[in-house]
């Protein structure tokens, strides 16, 4: 048996994918053969269009659909429009996410709610809309981007940790509910990944984090994208409700 991953003919929608991890995930899925739907918020439309054009340069069908996943109407419209324009969605990657860090006693209602709304509710709204279609198709791969912070917590990130722990619970509940329809639901818990989010950290803070990483480096967006391609592939056909840490051994 030859071990190849070929997603030719499959359609993948990645939320929050004009840049960062989402873009790397979309790019990896496109390299594996999948056609791609890029999503991001409307102010990022130009960048989202440019990212979709990069996928088309690889010879894939690709479109960019703007919409705010934390708005239930937008999320439903996103899934429906993607399904109509691309014919189906085989792979949904719930990647859109934000941080609004603050110490617990200073955290505003808005800081709490916006992170929960985008990271957790956004994943729920997109999954609910996609699952309706995927159940009829009797196939689907839903991949949720959580975080090690959802497993181990972090001072100053009560909102983010709760949203990412919530995504892990959502993953397991949905995996149980959708398994009989041929749909797998898995999560990835990235550790510290080189990105706009981690670029903001001062060098001494980064060095301190690296001390706690057995593999001795920050992760790359490609490290995370590789795990997504695995979950999307036939190689992961018997894996559901699982959380894969891509963190250099930080959490074990």
Ligand X SMILES: NC(=O)c1ccc[n+]([C@@H]2O[C@H](COP(=O)([O-])OP(=O)(O)OC[C@H]3O[C@@H](n4cnc5c(N)ncnc54)[C@H](O)[C@@H]3O)[C@@H](O)[C@H]2O)c1
Name which of 97 and 140 has its Cβ closer to ligand X.
Answer: 97
Q: Does 243 bind ligand X (CB under 6 A)?
A: no
Please choose, out of 5-13, 18-26, 53-61, 130-138, the segment that lies near ligand X by the rule CB under 6 A: 18-26
Contact 90, 10 (CB under 8 A): yes
Name which of 15 and 240 has its Cβ closer to ligand X.
Answer: 15
Give CA separation, 191 vs 7, 12, 37, 212, in Å: 26, 24, 26, 11
Give min distance, CB of 47 to ligand X, in A: 8
Name which of 6 and 110 has its Cβ closer to ligand X.
Answer: 110
What are phi and psi for residue 31, nearest 5 degrees? -60, -35
Residue of 20, 156, 182, 241 that binds ligand X (CB under 6 A)? 20
Please choose, out of 36-44, 80-88, 171-179, 207-215, the segment that lies near ligand X by the rule CB under 6 A: 36-44
Name which of 70 and 184 has its Cβ closer to ligand X.
Answer: 70
Please choose, out of 5-13, 34-42, 131-139, 227-235, the segment that lies near ligand X by the rule CB under 6 A: 34-42
Q: Does 18 bind ligand X (CB under 6 A)?
A: yes
Give CA 54 to chain center in angstroms: 19
Cβ atoms within 10 Å of 177's Cβ, excluding its own = 13
Which of 3, 125, 139, 160 does the annotation list as catalytic? 160
125 is catalytic: no
Q: Does 41 bind ligand X (CB under 6 A)?
A: yes
Strand blocks (E) in the chain: 11-14, 35-40, 62-66, 91-94, 140-145, 183-190, 243-246
Q: Does 19 bind ligand X (CB under 6 A)?
A: yes
Contact 11, 87 (CB under 8 A): yes
The helix/strand/coil state of 246 is strand
Q: Does 140 bind ligand X (CB under 6 A)?
A: no
Rounded distance between C-alpha atoms, residue 48 and residue 115, angstroms: 22
Query: Which residues sit opposite 93 in a β-bridge?
Result: 14, 143
The helix/strand/coil state of 5 is coil
Rounded distance between C-alpha atoms, residue 200 and residue 35, angstroms: 33
Give CA 45 to chain center in angstroms: 19
Please choose, out of 33-41, 57-65, 173-181, 205-213, the segment that lies near ligand X by the rule CB under 6 A: 33-41
Name which of 192 and 231 has its Cβ closer to ligand X.
Answer: 192
Subset of residues 144 to 203 that bind ligand X, contact rule: CB under 6 A: 145, 147, 190, 192-193, 195-198
Name which of 29 and 193 has its Cβ closer to ligand X.
Answer: 193
Residues in the site for ligand X, rule: CB under 6 A? 15-16, 18-22, 39-41, 44, 68-70, 95-98, 118, 122, 145, 147, 190, 192-193, 195-198
């Amino acid at each position: 048996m030859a071990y190849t991953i070929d997603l030719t003919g499959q359609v993948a929608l990645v939320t929050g994918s004009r840049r960062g991890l989402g873009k790397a995930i979309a790019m990896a899925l496109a390299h594996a053969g999948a056609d791609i739907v890029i999503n991001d918020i409307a102010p990022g439309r130009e960048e989202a269009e440019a990212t979709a054009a990069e996928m088309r340069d690889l010879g894939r069908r690709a479109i960019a659909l703007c919409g705010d996943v934390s708005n239930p109407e937008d999320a439903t419209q996103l899934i429906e429009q993607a399904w109509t324009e691309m014919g189906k969605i085989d792979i949904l990657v719930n990647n859109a996410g934000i941080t609004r860090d603050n110490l617990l006693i200073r955290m505003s209602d808005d800081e709490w709610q916006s992170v929960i709304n985008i990271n957790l509710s956004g994943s729920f709204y997109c999954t609910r809309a996609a699952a309706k279609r995927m159940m009829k198709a009797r196939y689907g791969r839903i991949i949720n981007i959580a975080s090690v912070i959802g497993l181990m917590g972090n001072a100053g990130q009560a909102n983010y940790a709760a949203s990412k722990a919530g995504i892990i619970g959502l993953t397991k509940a949905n995996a149980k509910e959708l398994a009989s329809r041929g749909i797998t639901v898995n999560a990835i818990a990235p550790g510290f990944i080189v990105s706009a989010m981690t670029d903001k950290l001062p060098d001494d803070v980064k060095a301190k984090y690296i001390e706690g990483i057995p593999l001795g480096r920050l992760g790359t967006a490609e490290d995370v994208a590789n795990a997504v391609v695995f979950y999307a592939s036939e190689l992961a056909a018997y894996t559901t409700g699982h959380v894969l840490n891509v963190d250099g051994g930080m959490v074990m």
